[in-house]
Structure 1
Amino acid sequence: MPTTARPTFTRAALTGLIAVVVALGVGHLVSGLLLLPSSSPFLAVGNAFIDRTPAPVKDFAIRTFGTNDKLALLVGMTVALILIGVVIGLLARRSVIPGLIAVAALGIVGILAVREQSSGALGLLSPVAALVAGVGVFWVLHRLARPRSDAGDDVDGGGVGRRGFVVGALAASVGAAAAGAGGLVLTRRIDVTASRRAVGELVPETPAPPIPAGAAFPESGTPPFLTPIADFYRIDVNLAVPQLRAEDATLRITGLVNEPLELTFDDIRSMPLVEKTITMTCVSNEVGGPYVSTTNFIGVPLLALLERAGIADGAQQLVGHSVDGFTIGTPLDMLRAAGDEAMLAIGMDRRALPPEHGFPMRTVVPGLYGYVSATKWLTELELATYDVIPYWVERGWDGQPPGVVPIKISSRIDAPKSFQQVPGGDVTIAGTAWAQGRGISRVEVRIDKGDWQPAELATEVNPFTWRMFRLTTSLPSGQHTVACRAVDGSGVMQVEERLRLINPGPVPDGSTGWHSIVFTVE
């Protein structure tokens, strides 16, 4: 009668690893078949992790990895799952039971994560299929991994036993790769590229005024006034960009309204379109940081759209609902203060919105940070009281005045760069300032703790956009420190004290402080 022995360390580790990989591949395949990318267990667990990450940790990730923070998370998750798979396999060397329990536990975590992502009952098929596949492959490979002392196999795992495990492991690995690739291909059946192309050029009935030639100083080192779409900053909580076609998109206006409305994308596309030049800033932007960009948004005035439904008494905030279940609440008083500048946007730079910036439609409320104003991949606008808890408020942030503050006065030095060596002679210090809604009236520059000097300002486009500045001066050779500060259109000076992005308490109100750099004149 044959006797069994423990699998080798290598076979045990591979058994656990391959079982986990197969589970993820099958889950991704089924999510592609269902056209529900958010039901992929791998992405759902990642999104659940993001949801539970404390704000200071998120800020650290943004500071450290920038817009690659999601890629860093995906890489970290992949490494963690590889290690978990190896550990599961090693725990099951003596008996298959602990391994089966551990793989099943991972599957249950996936089910719970998908359930949170608003994929519906149908979406649960993906993590359930992943669980079944993972458990099944682990059981089969564990049996093949055990050497047997009978006439057909060598006790040390050679001969037929080794060949059987290798064949099984290779078959499972190829199947996992094929399933994962199949999931990616199937997901691309949602042809967002073709949908954007079909929208065509967006020609506003009310175009934005032309950008004057003196609105920026790119020759001195500032960015161009209008940010190229490829360079426009992106900050959101999605591991994968939601895929929604314009022809499938509808916008519902619900809640405290006199008459709920439902509009298709074509309904909105056929309305008189307006174009607004707007600078957007993220609340996570550090002093001197890059998360500020400007473009021409095209869409329809947001308040006019809400008034078609009739804003009922008692409404306190506008809650935007994204296709992925994400929500953002905008205080209604602050929305009204923005007036016709607040938009339901369907385009940037006279083209349909890029997918990563909210295609087919999004909200834009200039003068407010994005966490209370910018709902991408929009499907519903709900007029509500503050009893409705949006995403960030649910996580401890303040979504009501006076906790919600306008974008703070900020300025940064774009040229020279920190620690740059510049030729001797005249040196031009150039940068960017913004205080959306109030505009910039003055920028001052200080060199080596000397007197503050007024900088030359670029032509103002409108109070909701950034404004460039520059100062040319002669400096001696050696190291120099330069700082800048701005004054808004109402005469308020930029705050000197540096504060964290998220101050003690529940109020996320952006960073403060004067930006300074050190550079060397040759």
Structure 2
Amino acid sequence: MYYAGTFLGLRPLPQLLNEPLLSIMPGIVFGFLIDTLQHAGKVVEEFGLIVLMVAVLGGLGAASSVAGLRWTSRYLPFAFAGIGWLLVVAVLLPLGGLGFLGVNDGFPTPLIWASLFAIYAVVLQFGEQPAPGFDAGRRRILSGVPIAIGAVSLGALGLRLLPDWYKAIFQAPESGIRGISPAVTPVQNFYVVSKNLGGDPVVDGQAWRLRVGGLVDRSLNLSLGELRALPSIEEYVTLACISNNVGGNLMSTGNFRGVRLRDLLTMASPKSQGTWVAFRARDDYTESLPLDLVQATPEILVAYDLDGAPL
């Protein structure tokens, strides 16, 4: 699945299910992952989702084997693989925001998943009970093929993910600072916290647009160059993660340059019915602030530079 994402553009299920899982996660569990485990919390979540998916695939394989004791059909593994495929394209992909069958991510998506489950069915066939009279030695070899393929797959997955997990836990940007923190945090050590499994989206600065719409008289659609051309200010700002422990390192200070948010809203001219300002990022992260607060707080910026370097 992860390697299919690399070569075929398929998005791994743990990354797709991250957002809906967080939305239903009990507060005490979310607090433990973020407040206690911090950077390791995302790793634990992804690992847990992978274990769950391996368990489901194992359960389908076991069910296929049990059914094979009662019904004799070479197509039985494909039937159970089909159940797995339906679960993914009709339930999990829509939950992950890709729509029914995952077509929001491209029409080939359900076909790619069908191919992966077809391979899974072929692997299950190796573990079936062979016909009477089949050579016992070959029987043992063939019955061990699914286990061997599973072990190799898990090993390859470990090689793919373990370096990223190690970096996320032990090589976070803020971990490079020792002793007393400087008054202004070096850009390379500015703390980073992300909700995204598998990395954040890459944003093309040339194609990026800032859109301001909703209950406004004049919608805005600004390029990065147009945003930079507007009157701007610089501010030294200290940011701290809501999950930063006392004495923790999820806190940084930098010199930000950007456009006052209230100036952008003045350009858009909010209607009288509008009372909140909602934000949506490229990774679908959302936040909101009361309009009155934004208009009364000139320090709120749409920032594009940090310590003189583009964000």
TM-score category, normalised to shorter length: 0.7 to 0.9
String of CA shifts for 1:283-323, please: whole Å, max 9, x gaps: 33344444332111122222112212222222211111112
The answer as to 2:141 corresponding to 1:159 is no
TM-score by length of 1: 0.47
Structure 2 residue identity aligned to 1:346: Y
Shift of 1:273: 3.8
The answer as to 2:220 corresponding to 1:261 is yes
* Corresponding residue to 1:45 among 17, 37, 48: 17
Name 2:202's counterpart in structure 1: 243
Taking the aligned partners of 1:255 and 1:290, their CA distance within structure 2 comes to: 38
Matches within 5 A, 1:102-181: 102-107=83-88, 108-115=90-97, 121-123=103-105, 125=107, 128-149=110-131, 153-154=134-135, 156=136, 158-159=137-138, 162=141, 166=145
Structure 2 residue identity aligned to 1:82: V
Name 1:99's counterpart in structure 2: 80
Higher helix share: 2
Structure 1 residue identity aligned to 2:300: A
> Partner of 1:233: helix, strand, or coil?
coil
Matches within 5 A, 1:5-20: none
Name 2:265's counterpart in structure 1: 306
Taking the aligned partners of 1:348 and 1:122, their CA distance within structure 2 comes to: 35
Name 2:241's counterpart in structure 1: 282
The answer as to 2:48 corresponding to 1:76 is yes
8 Å contact 2:216–2:268 — kept in the other structure?
Answer: yes
How many matched pairs? Answer: 280
Name 1:348's counterpart in structure 2: 306
Which 5+ residue runs of structure 1 have no aligned equivalent? 1-22, 33-38, 182-217, 354-522
Taking the aligned partners of 1:287 and 1:168, their CA distance within structure 2 comes to: 47
Taking the aligned partners of 1:316 and 1:121, their CA distance within structure 2 comes to: 36
> Partner of 1:255: helix, strand, or coil?
coil
Name 2:192's counterpart in structure 1: 234
8 Å contact 2:127–2:142 — kept in the other structure?
Answer: no
String of CA shifts for 1:438-460, please: whole Å, max 9, x gaps: xxxxxxxxxxxxxxxxxxxxxxx
String of CA shifts for 1:420-466, please: whole Å, max 9, x gaps: xxxxxxxxxxxxxxxxxxxxxxxxxxxxxxxxxxxxxxxxxxxxxxx
**CA separation of 1:48 and 1:29: change in aligned 2, threshold 3 A:** farther
String of CA shifts for 1:89-111, please: whole Å, max 9, x gaps: 22221223673355235413332
> Partner of 2:297: helix, strand, or coil?
helix
Shift of 1:147: 4.2
Structure 2 residue identity aligned to 1:318: V
8 Å contact 1:99–1:138 — kept in the other structure?
Answer: no
8 Å contact 1:24–1:42 — kept in the other structure?
Answer: no
Structure 2 residue identity aligned to 1:349: D
Shift of 1:233: 2.8
**CA separation of 1:144 and 1:67: change in aligned 2, threshold 3 A:** closer
8 Å contact 1:141–1:165 — kept in the other structure?
Answer: no
User: Once the two structures are aligned, what percentage of the paired residues are identical?
Assistant: 24
8 Å contact 1:318–1:331 — kept in the other structure?
Answer: yes
Structure 2 residue identity aligned to 1:112: P
Shift of 1:241: 0.8
**CA separation of 1:89 and 1:28: change in aligned 2, threshold 3 A:** farther
Higher strand share: 1
8 Å contact 1:45–1:109 — kept in the other structure?
Answer: no
Taking the aligned partners of 2:223 and 2:103, their CA distance within structure 1 comes to: 26
Name 1:325's counterpart in structure 2: 284
Name 2:28's counterpart in structure 1: 56
Shift of 1:328: 0.9
Structure 2 residue identity aligned to 1:131: W
The answer as to 2:181 corresponding to 1:223 is yes
> Partner of 1:299: helix, strand, or coil?
strand
Name 1:26's counterpart in structure 2: 4
> Partner of 2:33: helix, strand, or coil?
helix
**CA separation of 1:126 and 1:48: change in aligned 2, threshold 3 A:** farther
Which 5+ residue runs of structure 2 have no aligned equivalent? 68-75, 161-176
Name 1:390's counterpart in structure 2: none
Structure 1 residue identity aligned to 2:52: A
Larger radius of gyration: 1
> Partner of 1:311: helix, strand, or coil?
coil
